[in-house]
Structure 1
């Protein structure tokens, strides 16, 4: 439980099939049945990696949140550890949303979703499926796996394909899975090799915390096929897109194109890089603008910042 008297933080477990997602519930103090935001992180990241920073600011302004860790990562359940599976992660979102709707201590008529990076892509997908939500926020969102992959050199593509084939063979022959890093240095065989990817992930790990820089290679074709940006035109609720114009992980070009198709979309761009959004001045600007956007559409008192 947090020492900040403006809110309380509780660790909760949300069933998903025969497993569970572990989450933090941030509840603002003295607010009866507040609105609630469901929050999910990026590729291979856990809620400890600065989701709490956003959740605490939301709670201090009267907005509850449920920030969860996907199955197979962190302290959530799951038998296929470190496996990225788009379908499974979207089910996690659905089950956490269902949990939020079933609570009697929040206003279930005022639910929003908030996702960052890969989770930003999921937030787009979920928003397109749930017109009953009141708002959504997609921060530096992953929007198109195919277009992102086209930025790779033929040599990089072949190396990743080799890892995938080895993992596929391992699955068929019941051998040990083949893993590769989520983030590596330029020239490494990893899902992300932008210069700021590995130090960016590491900068989000709290003191004394851990982050496993690994995923099964079988995730590669799933990432290529995932194109959540194509769903933006179906979103019937207000959605705020927070886009890094210098993003090396989720390229700004495709994201801007998709974001402008959302019927009720609001687009904000920032010079800060993909991993700069979580700390310092970029974080302060982002969280203030997001609070104002959420407050406007969730009928709470805004902060008076930019919209």
Structure 2
């Protein structure tokens, strides 16, 4: 397979990533657009997924979200779910301009925070012909209820208000660790498994930084992609759900899956939120590749 560095415009910022072409096949190819989750960059295992998809005969675009990694955008390290979803749609527009891509056969893949993004994008953008959503965030509000103890919520909201006032006055944004080894330290993604996953990628993903703006956490609480799930049909949906996920809670994912209409398929894997990237990578990637192959097959 071939891989090239590419970039495209998304509302005034250049988003950068990799474009993969399958080997020994004539195009135009069906294509898959994919990006990572909350604070993550493409080097954190997305190249492995792209290689599996390219080996299955797909062109693949992998890119960093606005404000992260190789992509442009300010403030740095700010997660904005609205602009990230628009980035997916601009990425689709980019791949459709390429002569080596069949513009009528576009799939999207997302995981964790972007697993929620692809649910919404697939529901509102009919250029998407197939979607894979892996361990997705379904509801920012419901997730926040589980991550922050009720007695700590007033202090958190007060921090959001103070940060908003500081920004309005021209000050720098407040920052928050993305993960922490200290369970008592406030961070965006609490839990030992979160910290272990990101710490283990440091050697091959130096662009990742263990911080996000505080407003990223506020915007995550406002993000509700699950409300779109019944609107995805007739676009085929595969959901990959971990049975012991505490970051994007298993029960929220399963309840959302029940609300989705056919055609749909559920793949359960054992373990926590990050197991699809490592321990169960083969299962997660192969099931996704099979779903894309089933629904993005060449037009006879």
Q: Per the shorter chain, which TM-score range?
A: over 0.9
Provide, for residues 161-199 of structure 1, a one-character-per-residue CA deviation record: whole Å limited to 9, x for no partner.
Answer: 243223112112212221011222422111121221111
Deviation at 1:157, TM superposition (A): 2.4
Q: How does 1:69-218 map to 2 (within 5 A)?
A: 69-151=64-146, 152-184=148-180, 185-207=182-204, 209-218=206-215
Q: Any conservation in 1 of the 2:41–2:207 contact (CA below 8 Å)?
A: no
Secondary structure of the corresponding residue to residue 204 of structure 2 = coil
Deviation at 1:206, TM superposition (A): 4.5
State how far apart, in whole Å, the 2-side matches of 1:261 and 1:133 are: 20
1:239 aligned residue = 237
Deviation at 1:205, TM superposition (A): 4.0
Q: Any conservation in 2 of the 1:160–1:190 contact (CA below 8 Å)?
A: no
State how far apart, in whole Å, the 1-side matches of 2:186 and 2:162 are: 14
State how far apart, in whole Å, the 2-side matches of 1:283 and 1:93 are: 23
Deviation at 1:113, TM superposition (A): 0.3
2:295 aligned residue = 297
2:224 aligned residue = 227
Q: Any conservation in 1 of the 2:43–2:205 contact (CA below 8 Å)?
A: no
Q: 1:279 to 1:13 in 2, by over 3 A?
A: same
State how far apart, in whole Å, the 1-side matches of 2:220 and 2:53 are: 31
Measured on the aligned residues, the alpha-carbon RMSD in Å equals: 1.5
Q: What are the ranges of 5 or more consecutive residues in structure 1 without an aligned counterpart? A: 1-6, 301-307
Q: 1:80 to 1:208 in 2, by over 3 A?
A: closer
Secondary structure of the corresponding residue to residue 288 of structure 1 = helix
State how far apart, in whole Å, the 2-side matches of 1:258 and 1:80 are: 32
Provide, for residues 217-255 of structure 1, a one-character-per-residue CA deviation record: whole Å limited to 9, x for no partner.
Answer: 122332112111111100020010000110121001111
TM-score (norm 2): 0.93
Q: Does 1:262 align with 2:260?
A: yes
Deviation at 1:23, TM superposition (A): 1.2
Q: What are the ranges of 5 or more consecutive residues in structure 2 without an aligned counterpart? A: none
Q: Displaced runs of 4+ in structure 1, greater than 6 A?
A: none
Q: Does 1:33 align with 2:31?
A: no
Deviation at 1:64, TM superposition (A): 1.1
Secondary structure of the corresponding residue to residue 101 of structure 2 = coil
Secondary structure of the corresponding residue to residue 14 of structure 1 = strand
Secondary structure of the corresponding residue to residue 19 of structure 2 = strand
State how far apart, in whole Å, the 1-side matches of 2:220 and 2:143 are: 10
How many residues in Structure 1 have an aligned counterpart in Structure 2?
Answer: 293
Deviation at 1:107, TM superposition (A): 0.9
Aligned pair partner of 1:15 in 9, 13, 24: 9
State how far apart, in whole Å, the 2-side matches of 1:77 and 1:286 are: 30
TM-score (norm 1): 0.91
Q: 1:189 to 1:158 in 2, by over 3 A?
A: farther
Provide, for residues 59-118 of structure 1, a one-character-per-residue CA deviation record: whole Å limited to 9, x for no partner.
Answer: 111111101101111110112111111111111111111111111111111100000100
